[in-house]
Amino acid sequence: DQKGKVKHNGFAAKEAYGNAFGIYALAAYYKASGDTVALHLAKQAFAWLEKHSHDPVYKGYFQHMQRDGTPVKRNADITSTSDLGYKDQNSAIHLLEAFTELYLVWPDPLLRERLNEMLLLIRDTITSPKGSLTLFFQPDWTPVSFSDSAKVTILKHRYLDHVSFGHDVETAWLMLEASHILGLENDSITLLKAKLMVDHALRNGWDSAVGGFYDEGYYFKGDDKITIIKDSKNWWAQAEGMNTLLFMADLFPNDPLHYFEKFRQLWNYTQTYLIDHEFGDWYEGGLDKQPELKKSLKGHIWKATYHHFRSLSNCISALRKE
């Protein structure tokens, strides 16, 4: 709280996700400032995760932990719609991102091993053969899926089981960045998987009329095509989409999906429906689908400038290079 007293937070007092962003920020700050106190704290956080969160049997990291680092296990008190006790793609991709940033300033052998481990897990286990991320898993990496259930049950558990196009395009870039920082030359497997993820998102979750990636889709049993179950377009998915599309346009300039034209369409969408040209910053979602967000909060615990600053900075650098 504001007096420095640790507040109780239900089942999980600590999460791998939050620690990942802590490591990411500390490493980036050290790279910019040379402040060794920040690097030391990042190393401490990595060591804490290694001791408490890393799974030596099935690999990857437990997301939810007690304050002493004991991983939270699912039990009868945890509802079926809760993610407590599951491993998940979101903490995994942000651990990958954090370890990539930390490895740039601290090329530690164990850190390299964990960074490579996360890259392979995300690429070969968490990403489905179709090219979309599975969101949640049992500790042994058995997917959490409700696809065999009735539609009402599927939609009740949609938080745990859907296609998140924004995460797919973001992860494609994060994997390629990690592969590059690891120095994996001619890593065609990661490149092809990243392209599969972007292409899947464009073919199934892209608004061809005005641009933008939809928030959620689902492969209902017996359907040949994915169904859009949430057609809003959150700000971070569009930001990450621009960054990834421009990157793919550089790698595959003549691809039939026309990545550069999609990037231009997404930038036009962003200027039209996401950027607040009167007061600044971005709305939380596209006003074409959620006009009420024009009066919603610009910033809160899940809404910060992290995604769109990185995207715009990377895009400017790439376009200037071109």
Structural domain boundaries in the chain: 14-231, 239-322
57 CB-near residues (< 8 Å, 6+ apart)? none
Phi, psi of 252 (to 5 degrees): -130, 70
Q: What DSSP character marks residue 216?
A: E
Whether 169 has a pLDDT exceeding 80, the answer reads yes
Of 264, 265, 267, the residue nearest 282 (C-alpha): 267
pLDDT tier, 7 (very low <50, low <70, confident <90, very high otherwise): confident
Contact criterion met (CB below 8 Å) for 168 and 226: no
23-56 pLDDT, tens digit per residue, is 999 999 999 999 999 999 999 999 999 999 999 9
Residue-level pLDDT at 10: 64
Contact criterion met (CB below 8 Å) for 242 and 311: yes
110-135 pLDDT, tens digit per residue, is 999 999 999 999 999 999 999 999 99
Q: How far out from the chain centre does Cα 125 lie?
A: 15
Radius of gyration over alpha carbons of the chain, in Å? 20
Dump the DSSP string for 104-134: HH---HHHHHHHHHHHHHIIIIIB-TTS-B-
pLDDT more than 90, % of the chain: 94
Query: What is the chain's mean pLDDT, rounded?
Result: 96
For the residues 306-310, what does the mean pLDDT come to? Answer: 95
Q: What element of type H or E holds 179?
A: helix 165-182
What kind of fold does domain 14-231 have according to CATH?
Glycosyltransferase (1.50.10)
Residue-level pLDDT at 9: 64
